[in-house]
């Protein structure tokens, strides 16, 4: 059965800290790994990773995929209170209709 596991489940840091969120996956016919940020409503897209070892970067956020070890990390540097959210990763399969399998999420709280 396909599954995506994230760690830690929750994390509390202070502004300015750097955090690393982990995502491991077992997805049949894997195509891509995605990261989303969810605050009150629907998830907002952060990254889609399809190739191993190539870092994707957007401002203070970056992410990388390791297809050999089946995991990805999301880094956030110089955290701000606005980064407080649930971060979801999802594995995409090519089976069927390219559906996503979401992980449990990491709840990040950044204290001022």
Partner 1 sequence: GAVVSQHPSWVICKSGTSVKIECRSLDFQATTMFWYRQFPKQSLMLMATSNEGSKATYEQGVEKDKFLINHASLTLSTLTVTSAHPEDSSFYICSARPMGRDSYEQYFGPGTRLTVT
Residues in touch with partner 1 (CB under 8 A): 31-32, 34, 41-45, 48, 88, 90, 92, 96-105, 107
Query: 74: which 2 tokens?
Result: 């999301």
Q: Locate tokens 């907002």: which residue?
A: 44
**Considering beta carbons, is residue 15 or 98 the nearer one to partner 1?**
98
Tokens 């399809």 sit on residue:
50
- In the complex with partner 1, which residue's Cβ is closer, 19 or 48? 48
What six digits make up the tokens of 1? 């059965």
Of 34, 7, 21, 23, give the one whose Cα is nearest residue 92.
34
Nearer to partner 1, 1 or 69 (CB): 1
The distance of closest approach from Cβ of residue 78 to partner 1 in the complex, given in angstroms and rounded to an integer, is 27
Query: What would the two tokens of residue 41 be?
Result: 């409503």
- Residue number, 58 or 112, with CB nearest to partner 1: 58
Q: How far is the CB of 40 from partner 1 (least distance, A)?
A: 9
Kindly list the distances between the CA atom of residue 24 and the CA atoms of 4, 29, 45, in Å, as whole numbers in the listed order.
Answer: 6, 15, 19
Please report how close the Cβ of residue 77 comes to partner 1 at its closest, in angstroms. 25
């Amino acid at each position: 059965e396909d599954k995506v596991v994230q760690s830690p489940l929750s994390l509390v840091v202070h502004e300015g800290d750097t955090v690393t969120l982990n995502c491991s996956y077992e997805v049949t016919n894997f195509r891509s790994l995605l990261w989303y940020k969810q605050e009150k409503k629907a998830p907002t897209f952060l990254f889609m990773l399809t190739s191993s070892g190539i870092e994707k970067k957007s401002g203070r956020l970056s992410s990388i995929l390791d297809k050999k070890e089946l995991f990805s990390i999301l880094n956030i540097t110089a955290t701000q209170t606005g980064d407080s959210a649930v971060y979801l990763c999802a594995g995409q399969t090519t089976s069927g209709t390219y559906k996503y399998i979401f992980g449990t999420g990491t709840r990040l709280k950044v204290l001022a």
